[in-house]
Amino acid sequence: MIALLAAACGGTTTPSTATTSAPTTTTPVESAPLIAAPTDERFEVVADGSNGPTARVFVSYPRVAGADSFNDAVGEDVRAQLDEFNELYIGDEPGGVAIPELNVSFDYLVASGDVLGVRLESYEFAGASGGTSWRTVYYDAREGLVRSAIELLTGEAAFTELVAVAQTELSDRGFGPSPNPGAGAAVRNYDSLAFLANGDLLVEFDDYQVASGGDGRVAFVVEAATVDPWLSDFGRRVQAQVMSPDGALTLPTAPPTTAAPPTTTSPTPATTPPATTDAPTTDPPPTTIPAPGSGEDVDCAIVACVALTFDDGPVASTNRLLAILAERNVQVTFFPVGSNVERNPDIAAAAVAAGHEVGNHTFDHVDLTTRSPDIIREQMQSTQAAVRAATGVTPTLFRAPYGATNGDVAAFGLPQIMWSVDPEDWKDRDADIVAQRVLAETDAGEIVLLHDIHPTSVDAIPAILDGFAERGFTVVPVTTLLGGDLTPGEVYYRR
pLDDT along the chain (495 residues), means of 10: 41 32 37 74 90 89 95 94 86 66 95 95 86 95 96 96 94 88 95 95 94 83 95 97 91 53 42 34 39 61 96 96 97 97 95 98 95 95 97 97 96 97 92 97 97 96 97 97 94 96
User: Shortest CA distance to 333 belongs to which of 356, 315, 312?
Assistant: 356
pLDDT value at residue 252: 73
CATH of 2-243, one of 3.30.565.40, 3.40.50.880, 3.40.50.920, 3.30.379.10: 3.30.565.40
User: Shortest CA distance to 76 belongs to which of 267, 262, 265, 269?
Assistant: 262
Positions marked catalytic = 311, 451
Separation between Cα atoms, residue 463 and residue 326, nearest integer Å = 15
Domain 305-492, classified CATH 3.20.20.370, yes or no: yes
Q: Are 397 and 336 in contact (CB under 8 A)?
A: no
Q: Residue 428 carries which side chain, given as an amino acid letter?
A: D
Q: Are 349 and 322 in contact (CB under 8 A)?
A: no
Q: Where are the domains of the chain?
A: 2-243, 305-492
Instruction: Give the DSSP H/E element, type plus range, for residue 351.
Output: helix 345-353
E strands present in 327-372: 333-335, 357-358
pLDDT value at residue 28: 35
